């Protein structure tokens, strides 16, 4: 192993993370990062060997027992990582770029039919696009690459050279992964798609179409609000119409560029389509104008490969039974992290949620889940999971400011955007969907039921046009069931005191009585 290895037996803080025990021994990926001085983001989960025969988790660390302690060699730590931590493509790619391929040839030759030697061999050739000086294997059973107890696998494709089933959920140029967690398994078990269909199957078609129209507009407006914009109502309606058509048209670069034109009707000050320069999210120093990035976009020179890989992965997963919510997570967040356009990335990122869920028939036909509206309610958590990706990567991106107030990336960063762990993003997105299905949709349907009851009462009680009835109910909603003095003097000055009191009592009975029950 490398001579610059830290003495993990004597350190208390390891790569800025306090060790769970003074004498704990970091192993697996974190040992490889240290031993080979790899400039990669630290994984969300780290492994160490404790002194006692007890497994436990503490903070970032998962502590295993002395019997799990691997040999302090390249093969030992690689085997441990694949067995207990899963596949971290970004770390493996950097490692394989650093080591002499002859080391891996020796590993495979020492165990030519070994489960882990074959996986390592496959991953090297897959990541490096380079063949090791080894003959194809012609005996032994096939082994799966992704352990489905550790990570969510994609569709299986055989690699006969290695006798390995490649079940990575992506391609060489775009392959994020999601770790298997109890939280995600619980969300998947909820079968939210069927739950939504069950909720809505009991709803009258007319009421359902009204709910769909409201939620569509609500989602469109929220998507602009997230970006800090308040466009004219016709722009909100237009984007809502596009969201309503999600999943109906093929998804390709031309489609995304078409969506960008709709999001940004005035393109005098930006270049539409994929960037030809750098990009970042953040502010500028108010005096010097120097960029202050919180996220740096993929290099313009890398966009062809990344976007090509993005769509290849979309096709791969779209033709499989990969969980639609996890698929939407990988692609929608992958898109926003790459940030291929000068502007409009955020709204297209959220459109991708709609497209994939609709294309995979996760959402009941004719309905749009108000994903952006729920995200807006959880805006701080949303910012946090975006930052969870961006912040650790800023330390690994070398850049300088340009004369235009932009950034120019100076080092090779493509792997930061095509290989990443999307577990936090998946848990966030599933939480948003769970709230949408079990809270937002039922509440909207219940509101329309109550609205219709009050609407019928008012029309039977007083001869009033639909437009005015709608306005009256809106005023009551805004003022907790009371008609304001201003409304009594202006729009509804012709109502008598008894009529107002009767309507307010009925409102209280319908809208607030059920809440008290």
Query: Tokens for 285?
Result: 């120093």
* CA nearest neighbour of 238 among 252, 253, 258: 258
Task: Tell me what pLDDT residue 513 has.
Answer: 67
Q: Which 3 state secondary structure label does DSSP give 175?
A: coil
Which regions in the chain score pLDDT beneath 70? 1-12, 513-517
* Cα–Cα dist 477/507, whole Å: 9
Which phi and psi angles does 465 have, rounded to 5°? -65, 155
Overall pTM > 0.75: yes
Kind and range of the H or E run holding 195: helix 192-201
Task: Give every CB contact of residue 286 below 8 A, 6+ residues apart in sequence.
Answer: none
Task: Tell me what pLDDT residue 215 has.
Answer: 84
* CA nearest neighbour of 34 among 10, 3, 70: 3
Q: Where are the beta strands (DSSP E) in 348-488?
A: 399-401, 407-409
Which one-letter DSSP state was computed for residue 508?
A: I
Other C-beta atoms lying within 10 Å of the C-beta of residue 107: 22
Other C-beta atoms lying within 10 Å of the C-beta of residue 464: 17
Residues 353, 331 contacting (CB under 8 angstroms) = no
Which phi and psi angles does 185 have, rounded to 5°? -60, -40
Which phi and psi angles does 14 have, rounded to 5°? -125, 115
Q: Which 3 state secondary structure label does DSSP give 282?
A: strand
Residues 324, 356 contacting (CB under 8 angstroms) = yes
pLDDT by residue (tens digit) across 432-487?
Answer: 999 999 998 888 888 888 989 999 999 999 989 999 999 999 999 999 999 999 99
Other C-beta atoms lying within 10 Å of the C-beta of residue 243: 25
Residues 97, 130 contacting (CB under 8 angstroms) = no
Radius of gyration of the chain (CA): 28
How deeply is 335 buried, as exposed, middle or buried, from its count of CB atoms within 10 A (0-12, 13-18, 19+)? buried
User: Look-up: residue for tokens 């990582």?
Assistant: 81
Query: Tokens for 479?
Result: 């003022």
* CA nearest neighbour of 298 among 284, 290, 310: 310
User: Look-up: residue for tokens 């000068």?
Assistant: 342
Task: Give every CB contact of residue 322 below 8 A, 6+ residues apart in sequence.
Answer: 152, 154, 155, 169
Query: Tokens for 292?
Result: 């202050």
* Cα–Cα dist 96/100, whole Å: 8
């Amino acid at each position: 192993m490398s001579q610059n290895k830290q003495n993990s037996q004597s350190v208390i803080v390891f790569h800025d993370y306090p060790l769970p025990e003074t004498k704990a021994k970091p192993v697996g990926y974190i040992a490889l990062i240290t031993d080979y001085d790899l400039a990669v983001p630290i994984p969300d989960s780290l492994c160490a060997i404790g002194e006692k025969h007890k497994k436990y988790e503490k903070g970032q660390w998962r502590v295993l027992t002395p019997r799990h302690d691997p040999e302090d060699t390249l093969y030992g730590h690689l085997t441990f990582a694949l067995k207990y931590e899963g596949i971290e493509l970004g770390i493996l790619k950097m490692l394989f770029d650093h080591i002499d391929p002859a080391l891996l040839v020796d590993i495979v030759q020492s165990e030519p039919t070994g489960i882990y030697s074959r996986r390592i061999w496959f991953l090297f050739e897959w990541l490096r696009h380079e063949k090791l000086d080894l003959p194809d294997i012609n005996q032994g059973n096939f082994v799966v690459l992704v352990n489905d107890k550790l990570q969510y696998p994609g569709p299986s494709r055989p690699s006969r050279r290695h006798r390995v089933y490649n079940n990575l959920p992506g391609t060489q140029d775009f392959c994020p992964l999601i770790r298997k967690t109890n939280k995600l398994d619980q969300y998947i078990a909820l079968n939210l798609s069927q739950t939504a269909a069950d909720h809505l199957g009991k709803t009258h078609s007319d009421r359902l179409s009204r709910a769909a129209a409201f939620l569509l507009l609500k989602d469109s407006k929220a998507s602009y609000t997230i970006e800090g914009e308040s466009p004219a109502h016709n722009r909100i309606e237009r984007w809502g119409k596009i969201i309503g058509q999600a999943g109906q048209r093929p998804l390709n670069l031309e489609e995304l560029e078409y969506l960008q034109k709709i999001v940004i009707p005035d393109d005098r000050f930006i270049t539409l389509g994929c960037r030809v320069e750098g990009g970042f999210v953040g502010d500028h120093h108010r005096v010097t104008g120097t960029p202050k990035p919180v996220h740096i976009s993929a290099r313009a020179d890398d966009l062809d490969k990344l976007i090509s890989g993005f769509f290849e992965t979309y096709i791969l997963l779209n033709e499989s039974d990969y969980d639609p919510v996890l698929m939407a997570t990988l692609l929608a967040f992958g898109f926003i992290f790459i940030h291929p356009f000068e502007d409009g990335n955020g709204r297209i990122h959220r459109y991708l949620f709609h497209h994939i869920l609709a294309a995979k028939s996760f959402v009941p036909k004719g309905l749009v889940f108000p994903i952006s509206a729920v995200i807006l309610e959880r805006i701080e958590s949303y910012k946090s999971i975006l930052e969870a990706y961006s912040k650790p990567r800023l330390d690994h991106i070398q850049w300088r400011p340009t004369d235009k107030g932009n950034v120019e990336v100076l080092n090779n960063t493509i792997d930061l955007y095509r290989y990443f762990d999307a577990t936090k993003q998946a848990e966030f997105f599933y939480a948003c969907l769970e709230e949408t299905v079990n809270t937002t949709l039922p509440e909207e349907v219940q509101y329309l039921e109550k609205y219709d009851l009050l609407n019928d009462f008012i029309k039977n009680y007083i001869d009033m046009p639909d437009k005015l009835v709608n306005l009256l109910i809106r005023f009551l909603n805004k003022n907790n069931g009371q008609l304001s003095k201003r409304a009594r003097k202006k729009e509804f000055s012709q109502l008598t005191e008894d009529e107002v009191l009767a309507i307010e009592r009925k409102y209280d009975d319908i809208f607030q009585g059920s809440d008290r029950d």
